[in-house]
Homo-oligomer: A and B are copies of this chain.
Amino acid sequence: MTTQSIAGPFQPGHNHKACVRDAMNIAEQLCQSKDLRLTKIRKRVLELVWAGHEPATAYQLLKKLRAEKENAEPPTVYRALDFLVEHNLVHRIESLNAFIGCDHPESEHVSQFLICSHCNQVAELDDSVTINHAVSEEAKRLGFKVSNQTVEIMGLCAACQ
């Protein structure tokens, strides 16, 4: 397993094949260790999500899935996504109604996303310090108990500026 993909897609040397392979390996391991059923459908949907770093909508995934499984219907994809999201294998991008793969589902984490509005790629930040801390502080100050965050940052990645 390589570690080339760790920092996400906004990298000159991004090796996507290795990136996907790693992600799938990690998913298999995680499901095995947690006794989760990564069924054929779920696995295939995960692979389709990982086709790129541009978030995929449910219906884009459905279209691809149908190419190889003619009886696929919306629930087929949504159920798979429900499973994948629940177990952090995939994250939902709220502002896009779309989904991207997570390359570190095994570690509990709070996600932030950088969304490039030019190339449409999304990178997940693994910032358990700066942003996360700021959010907690602000919330605490107001007596608000945080359970969950959506942090989605739109703009231009380095390559697209």
Chain A residues near B (Cβ < 8 Å):
10, 94-95, 112, 114, 116-117, 123, 125, 127, 130-131, 133-135, 137-139, 142-158, 161
| A143 nearest in chain B by CB position | B158
Is the Cβ of A142 less than 8 Å from the Cβ of B127? Answer: no
Partner of A144 from the list B95, B135, B151, B153 (CB cut-off 8 Å) is: B153
Which of B123, B144, B151, B156 is the one whose CB lies under 8 Å from A158? B144
Can you list 27 contacts pairing A with B, beta carbon distance less than 8 Å? A10-B144, A94-B150, A112-B135, A112-B138, A114-B139, A114-B142, A116-B144, A123-B144, A125-B138, A130-B137, A130-B138, A131-B131, A131-B134, A131-B138, A133-B134, A135-B153, A142-B158, A143-B161, A144-B153, A144-B155, A145-B156, A145-B161, A147-B154, A148-B154, A149-B152, A149-B154, A150-B154
Contact A94 B142 (CB under 8 A): no
